[in-house]
Amino acid sequence: MKKAIILLLFLSGTFTSKSQENILVNTNSTQIILKVDADKNLTFEYYGKKLNRIDDLFNTNTNTGADAYPAFGIRPDKTIAIRAKHANLDLTLVLKYQSHEVYDMDTNVDLTTIHLKDEIYPFYVDIKYKTFKAEDVIEMWTEISHTEKNSVTLFNYASAYLAFKEPTTYISHFHGNWGTEFTMEEFQLKRGKFSIESKEGIRSSTKDNASFFLGLGSALSENKGDVIAGALAWTGNFDISFAHDEFSTINITAGINNYASEYTLDKGKKFITPALILTYSNEGKGQASRNLHRYARKYKMVGGGEERKILLNSWEGVYFDFNEDKIIDLIDDTASIGGELFVLDDGWFGNKYSRDKADQGLGDWQVSKKKLPNGIEKLIDESENRGIKFGIWVEPEMANTSSELYENHPDWVLQNAGRELVKGRGKTQVVLDLSNPKVQDFVFNTVNDLLNKNPHIDYIKWDANAAISNYGSTYLSKEKQSHLYIDYHSGLQSVLKRLREKHPNIIMQACASGGGRTNYGFLQYFSEFWPSDNTDALQRIYTQWGMSHVFPAITMASHVSASPNHQTKREIPIKFRFDVAMTGRLGLELQPKNMTDEEKAFSKAAISVYKDIRPIIQFGDLYRIVSPYQNKRLASLIYVDEQKKNAVFFAYYLEKQVKETLPYFKFQGLDPTTNYTINEINKYAERKVFGADDKTFSGSFLMNTGVKLNLSNEYDSVILHLTAK
């Protein structure tokens, strides 16, 4: 790492006449401006498009003048980022600027650290800004420490505080429940406070996602307007709050949820908050999404530059009802239609407590002799003999009370002393106490031993089907029980880091009763997410549309399921199901034995088609064209490669109306000066929605005039492949 210390007296850029008072945090196109006044107060002045003249900001009084990291004490009525109780029980903080430096990490990444200290106590806060210049992304977090005589108690400890002087502000956020994850909602923020938060403890993204899009000055649009997008990189409970005050200022705080989580910080220790990931766009939500996608693939996720395999997962095909022969048949079917990976889901383990349903065996990670007499090795061999890879399901953070693990270590589960256990799935599921180092070792060894004994395992599906129900730890002291929510995730992250060090190339999916762990905190350890247990293709359009705002397609496990669908009982044509699944990492979640010969043939052809367009979808730029949330009857989107030479366009007819005239579909993201040849792909029974193949159009025509599509029936869909001529 190259270190360049930049003093307050000299900074590159354009400044006011008092240049020493400004600290600039720059990406290629955006800028955060902070100011230090004569009394060493640090204020957050601006975040947005990079300014040519910083004088203009202050001359027009459009700066915020808000404290950069507001502390409780002198002005307790204001929005605060930090609140603490000192060793002498004093509750006030007054943070003053001390110094700052910039680390030139590489040609694209800088790290700015601003050092603050209480004016009386040896209490310190470092504000961190890590910039990814080409992607126009900034990570922002804080590190809190002290050298007071005794421990300090932290009550509030935000990762970031931002302020915008804007009377008209709109928000887009994502919420739901099991089966409806990532439902998108947009509305205007009015006077008062709005919060996005999680209190589940483990599945932090089931009900609300730790992300947002903020429209400044106008309603949110795909292609125009000033937009701030944010996502918190924390695996546990979070709180992102927006307070619209009497001065038309939006005050934003984001970080770990302090709910039941006051934290005792010992002398000399450092409390590091998770990063808030930020990007700014003056070209609407679409550009903000593309910024996040590029950043995620390059810097945040595991294997962001590697193509994902097409898999068949056993869950909806056989559930718990399988044996070795049935699984080998599934492996054979996977290979026969062109799949590249077979994943064995829940039910493969447990002997004393055989995992035949969800009420027993969890925690006993011995291969079931009854179901798999020749072990996992046999299944791996059968997969490799057919030229495909093998993956497996685990849920190592959980146990059933009907298990050998619980019989031997009842103290390892979260519990309230003297109270009856509240149990989850199967009326027996409980959560292991990952604040306990012994439990951390058990979870690590569960997965590590599985991979060491079976080194040809290519893929892990890591599930977590419970929330924290029994708030209590036999490991933590009575004085530190309020550390549980945080220490659980510190322990979990420690396990995941150890596993990544030992097995850097294993592909892992984060699943938690569906999309309960779809956040950037997990993305640094996992390769993809399971967006929802609801595999209904129609509802997946909405789920994946919301998810696409924050995460790139390569992270989105999108599976073709049976018809009627197992969750909704809806009957949907196989082409529509494939066309929806192809917008993410394609997979299947069904029993091929129940498919007709025609459906099998179509599946094999569709998988072959996906292999050709996979690089464009998994690594290309996404442009959302027609939103199902706004149109209700149509949806369309396009992926365009970085060179704008190849693109893949998708359109869906969701609900037929009598005598409805559909609009022309206008493409986006193309080079207006390039001519593109269009071919309809993934056709069913040779029916053509677009017309004759090999038609050529200019990028300008396609984006400004568009094309007419013969979408005439409900659940009609089309995929068009565009190639520069």
How far is it, in rounded angstroms, from Cα 695 to Cα 451? 50
What mean pLDDT comes out for the span 40-52? 94
Q: How far is CA 275 from the centre of its chain?
A: 13
How far is it, in rounded angstroms, from Cα 26 to Cα 133? 7
Q: What is the mean pLDDT of the chain?
A: 94
What mean pLDDT comes out for the span 120-124? 98
Name the strands in the sheet holding 66-67, side by side, starting at the edge strand that comes first in the sequence: 22-26, 30-36, 42-49, 66-67
Architecture of domain 2-300: Distorted Sandwich (2.70)
Confidence band (pLDDT; 50, 70, 90) for 526?
Answer: very high
Q: What is the pLDDT of residues 553-596, one digit of tens each?
A: 999 999 999 999 999 999 999 999 999 999 999 999 999 999 99
Q: What is the pLDDT of residues 245-275, one digit of tens each?
A: 888 899 999 999 999 999 999 999 999 999 9
Lowest mean pLDDT among 22-36, 654-668, 695-709: 654-668
How far apart, in Å, are the Cα atoms of 513 and each of 379, 489, 532, 534, 557?
26, 18, 7, 10, 14
Q: How far is CA 127 from the centre of its chain?
A: 24
Report whether pLDDT(432) > 70: yes
| Closest alpha carbon to 159 in 325, 273, 56 | 273
| Closest alpha carbon to 112 in 14, 3, 272 | 3
Question: What's the pLDDT score for residue 376?
Answer: 98
Domain residue spans of the chain:
2-300, 311-619, 623-724
Cβ atoms within 10 Å, residue 420? 8
Report whether pLDDT(57) > 50: yes
Report whether pLDDT(5) > 50: no
499: left (phi over 0), alpha (psi -120 to 50) or beta: alpha
Residue 657: exposed, middle, or buried by beta-carbon count in 10 A (0-12, 13-18, 19+)? exposed
**Cβ–Cβ under 8 Å, residues 218 and 158:** no
| DSSP single-letter state for residue 432 | B
What mean pLDDT comes out for the span 322-338? 98
Give the predicted TM-score (pTM) of the model. 0.95
447 phi, psi to nearest 5 deg: -80, -40
Rg (CA), the chain: 27
Confidence band (pLDDT; 50, 70, 90) for 14?
Answer: very low
How far is it, in rounded angstroms, from Cα 648 to Cα 625? 13
How far is it, in rounded angstroms, from Cα 401 to Cα 404? 8
Report whether pLDDT(1) > 50: no
CATH of domain 311-619: 3.20.20.70
Q: What is the DSSP string of 532-593?
A: -S---HHHHHHHHHHHHTTS-GGGBEEEEE-SS-TTT-----HHHHHHHHTTSEEEEES-GG
| pLDDT > 90: percent of the chain | 90
What mean pLDDT comes out for the span 327-344? 98
633 phi, psi to nearest 5 deg: -110, -15
Q: What is the pLDDT of residues 142-191, one digit of tens each?
A: 999 999 999 999 999 999 999 998 889 999 999 999 999 999 999 999 99
Question: What's the pLDDT score for residue 6?
Answer: 36
Confidence band (pLDDT; 50, 70, 90) for 20?
Answer: low
CATH of domain 623-724: 2.60.40.1180
Using CA of residue 276, residue 277, residue 279, residue 285, what is the dihedral sign? negative
Question: What's the pLDDT score for residue 229?
Answer: 98
Residues 6+ positions from 471 with CB-CB distance below 8 Å: 260, 414, 416, 481, 484
Question: What's the pLDDT score for residue 18?
Answer: 47
Report whether pLDDT(401) > 90: yes
How far is it, in rounded angstroms, from Cα 430 to Cα 419? 14
Does residue 410 sit in helix, strand or coil?
helix
How far is it, in rounded angstroms, from Cα 295 to Cα 217? 26
Give the CB-side neighbour count of residue 603, counting CA atoms within 13 A.
Answer: 32
